[in-house]
Amino acid sequence: MEVLIIDSLLFDLMLILFLGVLSQWIAWRLQLPAIVMMSIAGLIVGPFFGIISPSESFGDLFNPIISLAVAIILFEGSLNLNFKEIKTFSKPVLRIVTLGAFIAWIAGSLAAHYLAGLSIAVSFVIGGLFIVTGPTVILPLLRQAKLKARPAAILKWEGIVVDPFGALLALFAFQFVLFAMGEESAAAFGLFFLAALFAVVLGVLAGWGMGRMFEKGQVPEFLKSPMVFAVVLLVFAVSDMVMHETGLLAVTAMGIMMANMNISSINEMRHFKENISVLLISSIFVMLTASLSLEVLIKILNWQIIAFVLAMLFVVRPLSIWLSTIGTDLTTQEKTLIGWIAPRGIVALTVSGYFASTLLEAGFEDAELLTALTFALVFSTVVAHGFSISWLGKKLGLASSEEPGILIIGSSRFNTRLGEILQAFDKNVLIMDPAWGSLQLARQLGIPNFAGEILSEHTEYELDLTPYETMIVATDTDSYNSLVVNNFVPELGRVNLYQTAIHIGNPDDFHSSLSGRTLFGSEWNFHALEAKIDEGYAMRKTQLTEQYTYADFKEKSVEGTIPLFVKRVQGKIEFFTNESKMEPKIGDTIVSFSPPAHQENRIQEKLETNRLKSETQSKE
584 Rama sector, left if φ>0, alpha if ψ -120 to 50, beta otherwise: beta
Evaluate if residue 410 carries a pLDDT over 50.
yes
pLDDT band at 266 (very low <50, low <70, confident <90, very high): low
Q: How many CB atoms lie within 10 A of CB 508?
A: 10
Q: What is the mean pLDDT of residues 585-611?
A: 69
In 3D, which of 127, 132, 137, 83 has the Cα closest to residue 107?
127
User: What's the rounded Cα separation, in Å, for the pair 608 and 614?
Assistant: 10
Strand positions, DSSP E, 107-178:
none
489: part of which helix (H) or strand (E)? Answer: helix 478-492
Half-sphere exposure in the Cβ direction for 416 (13 Å, CA) = 18
* Mean pLDDT (the chain, rounded): 80
CATH topology of domain 535-620: Alpha-Beta Plaits (3.30.70)
Could you report the per-residue pLDDT of 299-354, keeping only the tens digit for each?
Answer: 888 888 999 999 999 999 999 999 999 988 889 999 999 999 888 877 777 777 77
- Cβ pair 564, 576 in contact under 8 A: yes
β-pair type (562-567, 589-594): antiparallel
In 3D, which of 487, 23, 47, 592 has the Cα closest to residue 289?
47
Return the DSSP state at 425. T
Domain ranges of the chain: 2-395, 401-521, 535-620
The DSSP string of 257-292 is HHHTTT-TTHHHHHHHHHHHHHHHHHHHHHHHHHT-
Higher pLDDT, 595 or 611: 595
In 3D, which of 147, 134, 144 has the Cα closest to residue 97?
134
SS (H, E, C) 40-108: HHHHHHHHHCCCCCHHHHHHHHHHHHHHHHHHHHHHHHHCCCCHHHHCCCHHHHHHHHHHHHHHHHHHH
User: What's the rounded Cα separation, in Å, for the pair 164 and 469?
Assistant: 33
**CATH assignment of 401-521?**
3.40.50.720
The residue type of 472 is I
The residue type of 139 is L
SS (H, E, C) 554-596: HHHCCCCCEEEEEECCCCCEEECECCCCCCCCCCCEEEEEECH
pLDDT band at 515 (very low <50, low <70, confident <90, very high): low
**CATH assignment of 2-395?**
1.20.1530.20
User: Taking each helix axis from N to C terminus, what angle separates 370-395 and 346-361, rounded to the nearest 10 degrees?
Assistant: 160
Evaluate if residue 437 carries a pLDDT over 70.
yes
pLDDT band at 228 (very low <50, low <70, confident <90, very high): confident
Could you report the per-residue pLDDT of 456-467, keeping only the tens digit for each?
Answer: 766 766 677 777
